[in-house]
Amino acid sequence: MTEQQFIPQVYTKDITEGTVSWESPSNIALIKYWGKKKDQIPENPSISFTLNACKTTTVLSYSKKETTSDFDFKVYLDGEHKPDFQPKIKTFFERVLVYLPFLKDYAFKIETSNTFPHSSGIASSASGMSALALCLMSLEQQLQPGMTSEFFNQKASFLSRLGSGSACRSIEGDLIVWGENETVEGSSDLFGVKYPYAVHENFKNYQDTILLVDKGEKQVSSTVGHNLMHGHPFAAQRFAQAHENLASLKPILESGDLDAFIALIESEALTLHAMMMTSMPYFILMKPNTLEVINKIWAFRKETGLHIGFTLDAGANVHVLYPKSEAEVILKFIKTELASHCQNRQFICDEIGFGANQLIINKD
Ligand code: DP6
């Protein structure tokens, strides 16, 4: 597959107006994407669990315009007009115009809402960008009927990637690989693919409880962080390590070795933050409570032998990962011991999910 294959031929249908809607989930990386080349090409492969509860719902309404001079769209969050979202969507439209040449032909209304609280520190770019990309694909599908669902998903992931790298891993589930790696057949830098090998029962219904340690705006955005990997003294080793870790994960996922799984994902999370701390300029996104939580997780694991582990995204929140079979005791521990380290004692119970869903629009 090359980018060329996502440039459409002439559309066969003429659509004047309509509405489509998708809900698309967030995802949590186990092996992290951190560092990118031009056009949102990742420096290394990543793999993630698709989430289930944390998602964005987007309703896209479109009507054909008289002129096609420029983009015409308005964005709403929870019913409120959001002009400050405009630049990000405009950049996205510019990037994908060659693949969706109808974009300047329509006036769009983009209405979006998230299941997770606003400014919870949970990035909405993965779920938000993928939901928008899927809506645009639904319009393209009407303009060019007959595309396969495989192509639909692949192009939706490809477009999502151009909006936000990690968004390309939100279209499907339950484990998605993005970035070429020689041990994963079919893996691509252009879009996410379903992890194609055997996965042990232990990883089915895996739980992710997201501790909202810090709900504030991050001091350093992911985009800036990715860029700081250019010229980073440990970049080459880190990118090589991600390839190796993906290869090591394969026998772990197959055998269900939870101890090895935890060791690998915790190391990945701390490596991600180590890259931030060793960038120039350097920065720290963890907060004191992030470390408190990590230490408590380690002590509890040692004491009980339960398979509780953590990962981090580019922020202070902690994703507590554990198998469903141990959920009762671990959730009790989270409530009694970890919730006090969260802002307003807030945490979100999520688990592995299976990707985005199209929603039926009620015409009334
Ligand atoms: C730490 O996908 O948010 O969550 O491509 O610039 O939009 P952009 O970055 P983004 O980066 C996510 C980084 C991460 C790791 C990961 O999800 O793999």
Q: Report the CATH number at residue 210.
A: 3.30.70.890
Index of the ligand 1 atom closest to the CA of residue 163: 7
Q: Which two tokens stand for residue 318?
A: 């902690």
Question: Is the residue at 162 inside a domain?
Answer: yes
The Cα 214–Cα 20 span in angstroms is 34
Distance of CA 225 from the midpoint of ligand 1 (Å): 9
- The protein residue with its alpha carbon nearest to ligand 1, atom 6, reads 223
- The reply to whether 144 and 258 lie within a common domain is no
- The reply to whether 255 and 189 lie within a common domain is no
- The reply to whether 213 and 185 lie within a common domain is no
- The reply to whether 107 and 33 lie within a common domain is yes
- The reply to whether 254 and 266 lie within a common domain is yes
- Dihedral, CA of residue 88, residue 93, residue 99 and residue 104, to nearest 10: 170
Distance of CA 143 from the midpoint of ligand 1 (Å): 32
Which domain range does residue 78 map to?
3-197+354-359
- Taking only Cα atoms into account, the Rg of the chain, rounded to an integer number of angstroms, comes to 20
Question: Is the residue at 364 inside a domain?
Answer: no
Could you tell me what percent of the chain has a pLDDT over 90? 92
Alpha-carbon dihedral sign for residues 215, 220, 226, 231:
negative
pLDDT tens-digit series, residues 218-227: 788 888 999 9
Looking at residue 120, its pLDDT comes to: 66
- What lies within 8 Å, CB to CB, of 353 at 6+ separation is 25, 50, 51, 52, 53, 173, 174
> What CATH number did the domain enclosing 144 receive?
3.30.230.10
- The reply to whether 141 and 14 lie within a common domain is yes
- The protein residue with its alpha carbon nearest to ligand 1, atom 7, reads 164
> Could you tell me how many residues make up the chain?
364
Question: Is the residue at 114 inside a domain?
Answer: yes
Question: Is the residue at 67 inside a domain?
Answer: yes
Distance of CA 11 from the midpoint of ligand 1 (Å): 33
- The reply to whether 43 and 187 lie within a common domain is yes
- The reply to whether 168 and 246 lie within a common domain is no
pLDDT tens-digit series, residues 270-316: 999 999 999 999 999 999 999 999 999 999 999 999 999 999 999 99
Looking at residue 124, its pLDDT comes to: 81
pLDDT surpasses 90 at 363: no
Q: How many domains does the chain have?
A: 2
pTM of the model: 0.97
- The reply to whether 205 and 179 lie within a common domain is no
- The reply to whether 233 and 161 lie within a common domain is no
- The reply to whether 147 and 222 lie within a common domain is no
pLDDT tens-digit series, residues 199-217: 999 999 999 999 999 977 7
- Dihedral, CA of residue 351, residue 353, residue 358 and residue 363, to nearest 10: -20
- The reply to whether 169 and 239 lie within a common domain is no
